[in-house]
Amino acid sequence: MRLAERNDATGLWDFTDLADPLPAEPPVPRRADFIHLNGVKHAAANDIVRSFVRVSCTMPVRLDGFPQARTHGFGLVIDAEKGLVIISRAIIPFDLCDINITVADSIIVRGKVVFMHPLQNYTVIQYDPSLVQAPVKSAKLSTEYMQQGAGTLFVGFNQNFRIAVTATTVTDITTVAIPPNAAAPRYRAINLDAITVDTGLSTQCTSGVLLGEDGVVEALWLNYLGERTESSHKDVEYHLGLATPSLLPVLSQIQSGAIPKLRILDMETYVIQMSQARVMGVSEEWIRKVAIANPARHELFMVRKVDCASPSSTDTRPLEEGDIILTLNDKLVTRVSDFDAMYDQESLDALIVRNGEEMKIQIKTVPTEDLETDRALIFCGAVLQKPHHAVRQQISKLHSDVYVSARV
């Protein structure tokens, strides 16, 4: 605690330290047990309860355009021995925050951010497992992608922190991009396959999983922060499933003790059907190849928007809006998972269709650590930072490396 006194002689404030901060109480291990779902007939649902923890996040400074100071939700324990938890990035949007993790509705421990995915809307956090004397169980993640029409078990948590369970069916799996917020750009998920299910609980539950009968987690159920409506001035929140196979390459690195250094293509895409692709100049040969490679969904990806570069960057942008991507490193691209080659490559050889003509280009990837905010300055009530990823996604030219993110 400090005392500030105005010095009329110098025109400055003189500060005096009154006392040192009180030391934090050392954490102690505590014991607890999880609840039992006596009325639920699905054994897999009873078992997965031990893999959920409640997470609350408090942000002292609003960065990256995020509109809230406090959030809460449920995370899934992916490694009980290491204390690793995966949770929606709509709950933990950046790492300048205080995280409390509640285990079995009883034990509260501190958490820290380990990894934030730049595109797929999830964050990996960690707690000290030595402080938790409870039968926490690591969730087993499926290595197979879900199929439309498949049966699954929906296990979610509603806004009252109560668990809800029902058997349901996968209604659709489609490539989506969460709509941008025009007034204040903020993190949003793009270029991902979203799963929807045939149950009303899907709109009531912000966190959860889709389970197989064997107890294997087939998809995470996450909340996605969307745009703010002009009529109600409220933020739209989407509830969608994310298949677990797309998580495994990153999670395996984290479990081995490494922090993934991903690289991405700085662009946003959307899918087009073969009728539109044919009109835009895609040959009949490529259309046949798409039908063979992806019998369930005949589609290609078109570039919707290319992120703007930093004012100090000299890199050119070989991709243009409207380009149709045929191959990356000689592999046909008909699924979102086909873009995973970008994560560990500094550049990719691409075959595209532009203005009705096929051409080969080389595309450089960008390191994701450059997209996260690691420094902020509060000056005269304004929070200043570098333009974050969402800003670069929504404008065509970046005029400055100084961005006013919020006010205090």
Could you say which architecture CATH assigns to the domain 151-255? Beta Barrel (2.40)
Whole-prediction pTM value? 0.91
Say if residue 247's pLDDT is above 90.
yes
Mean pLDDT across 68-96: 96
**In the chain, pLDDT over 70 holds for what percent of residues?**
99
Per-residue tokens: 224: 């996605």
pLDDT digits (tens, 9 = 90+) for 278-287: 999 999 999 9
pLDDT averaged over the chain? 92
| Residue 310 reports pLDDT greater than 80 | no
Q: Can you give the pLDDT at residue 72?
A: 96
Tell whether the model's pLDDT for residue 59 goes beyond 90.
yes
Architecture of domain 266-364: Roll (2.30)
Query: How many CA within 13 A on the CB side of residue 261?
Result: 5
Stronger pLDDT, 368 or 128, i.e. the higher one:
128
Q: What is the tens place of the pLDDT at every residue in 9-56? A: 999 999 999 988 888 888 999 999 998 888 788 888 889 999 999 999
Please determine, for residue 317, whether its predicted confidence score (pLDDT) is greater than 80.
no
Write out the two tokens for 195: 């799963």
Query: Which pLDDT score, from 0 to 100, does residue 312 have?
Result: 61
Confidence class for position 274, pLDDT limits 50, 70, 90: very high
Q: What is the pLDDT of residue 301?
A: 96
User: Over 70: is that where the pLDDT of 314 sits?
Assistant: no
Lowest mean pLDDT among 54-63, 123-132, 347-356, 397-406: 397-406
> Percent of the chain having pLDDT more than 90?
78
Instruction: State yes or no: pLDDT of 86 exceeds 70.
Output: yes
* CATH number corresponding to 30-133: 2.40.10.10
Q: Is the pLDDT of residue 331 over 80?
A: yes
pLDDT for 230 equals 82
Write phi, then psi, for 284 (nearest 5 degrees).
-65, -30
pLDDT bucket at 313, cuts 50 / 70 / 90: low
3-state secondary structure the chain: CEEEEEECCCCEEEEEECCCCCCCCCCCCEECCCCCCCCCCCHHHHHHHHHEEEEEEECCCCCCCCCCCEEEEEEEEEECCCCEEEEECCCCCCCCCEEEEEECCCEEEEEEEEEECCCCCEEEEEECHHHEECCCCCCCECCCCCCCCCEEEEEEECCCCCEEEEEEEEEEEEEECCCCCCCCCCCCCCCEEEEEECCCHHHHCCEEEEECCCCCEEEEEEEEEEEECCCCCCEEEEEEEEEHHHCHHHHHHHHCCCCCCCEECCEEEEEEEHHHHHHCCCCHHHHHHHHHHCCCCCEEEEEEEECCCCCCCCCCCCCCCCCEEEEECCEECCCHHHHHHHHHCCEEEEEEEECCEEEEEEEECEEHHHCCCCCEEEECCEEEECCCHHHHHHCCCCCCCCEEEEEC
* Model confidence at 218: pLDDT above 70: yes
Domain boundaries, the chain: 30-133, 151-255, 266-364
Res 182: pLDDT: 85
- Position 189 scores a pLDDT of 93
Which tens digit of pLDDT belongs to each residue from 95-122?
A: 999 999 999 999 999 999 999 999 999 9
30-133 and 151-255, same CATH topology: yes
Q: Tokens for 18?
A: 């009154």
The pLDDT assigned to 43 comes to 85
pLDDT of 233 > 90? The answer is no
CB 88 within 8 A of CB 209: no
pLDDT tens digits, 336-386: 999 999 999 999 999 999 999 999 999 999 998 888 899 999 998 999 999
